[in-house]
Chains A and B, each alone.
Chain A
């Protein structure tokens, strides 16, 4: 296979049947030769993505954001820890056997669209983006769930601020809707 970027795009075209059968026949020769030689990292990447994507089917796919009802169902399961994030929230350590951390961000996003959440330190240093998140239409709040090890970096490592940015649906005006701070206790 050629350069990594080209190979990844070509492999995606091949897998998604966005490549003609004639072209695919030639591509298969290259793909098998690269695989046999152990020189096909992009093949390993997409192979793993297929496997990992199947794991996500039980979680409703790759969507970002949840509803209050979904979070309520998750909270009925064992080893699930819930955090209600308000303007200034102090978060205690959760039990060691916690598998999932579910949370609610106390904000009302009804009437907004294109919602992004930037995780920043109080000094303004960027940590992470949550892009295009969905809110619960019933109360406008943001709900989410993640594996406990991932949640540690957001809730337990250092003081952080969730800066919620969105566009007003009516005017398209971009604004910071809320800033919720989280501090490990």
Chain B
């Protein structure tokens, strides 16, 4: 998880409250909104781009525009902050080329603020990675492959089913079951953690 400023607002605060605070100049609320929305922005980008670098760049660009909008009072209805960010994503997806030049200028102005919300690729193994490594061994080879092809090799659903040599329906069920099993497994502390 990314570090947040010391004056972090309540993590249970609703989006409209956070957006209102952010528009009023509360940088901690702004940062928390960015952190909350970043996974959704990345999901939006991953569905379309299927490339880690392009996803990172897209997220960065959306957040730059979002922060600028907050600080210049362009978010008129704080209750609709989620839709506002989704709108940014859609507009950006429609015409990224037009925005590329603008991004350089925004980066100079707001780059420092946005960099705190960026996705950090771990250089060293983390507890979460070790849990995943541990849990993967309990899946069948086919289930591991289904998850790997989608989330590691970033293939589309149709490509995954072709690679596995099974129907799209079967690939979907296989992946869903594997994801649920993994989620349950990684959420629980492991025996080896007690020995750290």
Contacts and interface: CB of A to CB of B under 8 A. Distances in A.
B141 A64 contact: yes
Contact of B196 (A31, A42, A127, A149): A149
A49 B121 CA distance: 12
A54 B36 contact: no
Contacts of A84: none
B133 interface: yes
A29 B84 CA distance: 10
A11 B139 contact: no
B121 A54 contact: yes
A62 B148 CA distance: 6
Give the interface size bracket for B toward A. Answer: 35 or more
Contacts of A61: 148, 152-153
Interface majority SS (helix, strand, loop, mixed), chain A: helix
Nearest to B151: A53
B114 interface: no
Interface in B134-157: 134, 136-142, 144-145, 147-148, 150-153, 156-157
A92 interface: no
Contact of B129 (A32, A55, A153): A55
Contact of B157 (A17, A31, A152): A17
Interface in A24-82: 24, 28-29, 31-38, 40, 42-57, 61-64
